[in-house]
Amino acid sequence: MRNDHRFWHRLSGHLILAGGALILIAVGQFQRGSSPSGAELVAATAVSTQVSVAEDGVEVTAVSPTPTLPPQGTLPVVNDSSLAPLPNPNTYQTKLPVHEFQLHEVARGETPNIIANQYGISADTLLGGNTWLSQESNQLQVGAQLVILPVDGVLHNVRAGETIESIAELYRVTPEAIINYPPNNLEFPFYRLVPESELVIPGASIGQFFFTAPKSVATNAAGEPQWTVFGTGTYIWPINGRCITQFYNGFHPGLDVGSMEGSPVYASDTGTVTYASFAAGTYYDYGNLIVINHGNGFETFYAHLSSIGVFPGQTVTQGELIGFTGNTGRSSGPHIHFEIRDRDFRTNPLDRLGGGYQNCT
C-alpha cells in the first residue's frame, strides 16, 4: 500500500508538471499569435513603402501617404504624423554648390603667370574665374581682387534653362567633368541646376592672356611714337636645325622646320612677348604658341611648342631661349611653325633668315 500510495503521489506530481508546461506553451502560443511575426511585419511595411534600387545602387524610397501601421506597442513607430510630414515623392531638395575660393589682390608688378604660378593653376584659369577681366594682361589693375579657382577651369554662372549637357557643350567638356567635381554638389539622378548658382567647369577655358606691347610717350624726330622695346630688324633661325619640312606658300604662310621633340627655341629678334599659351580660338591650330612683337611693325610666331618658357609682357632679346619644340595643335610630328609678320602680313621667313638650309620635304 505504501508503494501504491507513493506511485499515485509521484504520478500526480508528474501530471501537474506536465500540465503546467502545457499551459505555459499554450500561453506562449497565444502571445505569439497576438503579435505579427517578423515576416508579417516586413510584409506590412512593404505594402506602405515602395523601395526601388536604381542602377548605381542609390535607394529611392517613396512612402505612400497612408501607411498600414503595425499594431500598437510592437514597434517604436510614431503613429502621430502631425509633427513629421510624410515626404512627398514629387518634391526634390536640390543642393547648392559649395565652393571655397581663395582671393588674390593684385600687387604691383604681378603678371597673370606670376599670380597663377603661386596657386598652381594656369593663367587661363585667372580669366576663367574672373570673366570680367580683360584678356590683355597689361590691363591687370593693382589692387584688383581675383577669384582663384582650386582647379584649372571656368566659373560658370548658371542661367535659367541651362542643363549640364548644354553647359558641357558650351565649354567643350564632358558632362561627367562637371558632375564629378564634388563642390558642384550635383546629385544623381536629376543633377538639378539652380539659376544664379555658380558651377566650376574643370578643364574649360575661355581664352588666354595676351599683351599689347606698349609704345613710349616719347616721339622720334619724325614725330612718331616710339616703341619701348624694338628689335634689331635682323632675324636668326628659331631652332638649331635647318631641315625644312614645309616651305612658305599661299596655303602655308610660314616655315616648318623639323626637329627632335623638346629642342630649344630662341627668340628670332628682340621684342616683347605678346602671347604665350596654348592657342585656343583664332590660333587653335598652332598648339602652344609664342608671339613676339618686335616694336617695329614686325612680329614672329613660334607654334606647336611642347613647352613655353616666357609670359606675355616679358621682354626678350635676340637668341634668348623662349621654349621647346613639340607637336601640339594641328601638327603631324615635332617641328616648329615659324612666321614673320610685317604689319600683319605673313612674309616668307626665308627672305630674312640668313644662311643655307636643307630641303626635308
- Footprint of Zn ion on this chain (CB under 5 A)? 254, 256, 337
Least Cα distance to 243 among 351, 352, 335, 349 occurs for 335
Q: Return left, alpha or beta for 166; rule: phi > 0 is left, psi -120 to 50 is alpha, else beta.
A: alpha
Q: Which amino acid is residue 206, in one-letter code? A: I
Q: Which is nearer to Zn ion, 30 or 251 (CB)?
A: 251
Smallest distance from the beta carbon of 108 to Zn ion, in angstroms?
Answer: 40
Alpha-carbon radius of gyration of the chain = 39
Give the CB-nearest residue to Zn ion: 337
Contact criterion met (CB below 8 Å) for 101 and 129: yes
Smallest distance from the beta carbon of 338 to Zn ion, in angstroms?
Answer: 8
Least Cα distance to 325 among 239, 242, 253, 254 occurs for 239
Q: Which is nearer to Zn ion, 119 or 247 (CB)?
A: 247
Smallest distance from the beta carbon of 284 to Zn ion, in angstroms?
Answer: 14
Q: Which is nearer to Zn ion, 294 or 335 (CB)?
A: 335
Smallest distance from the beta carbon of 294 to Zn ion, in angstroms?
Answer: 20
Least Cα distance to 305 among 346, 271, 262 occurs for 262
Q: Which is nearer to Zn ion, 294 or 337 (CB)?
A: 337
Smallest distance from the beta carbon of 215 to Zn ion, in angstroms?
Answer: 31
Contact criterion met (CB below 8 Å) for 302 and 264: no
What are the cell numbers at 291? 608671339
What sections of 202-324 are H helices per DSSP? none
Least Cα distance to 266 among 213, 338, 323 occurs for 323
Smallest distance from the beta carbon of 269 to Zn ion, in angstroms?
Answer: 20
Q: Which is nearer to Zn ion, 254 or 326 (CB)?
A: 254
Q: Which is nearer to Zn ion, 150 or 254 (CB)?
A: 254
Least Cα distance to 98 among 159, 150, 166, 60 occurs for 150
Q: Measured between alpha carbons, how far is 235 from 231 in angstroms, rounded to an integer?
A: 9
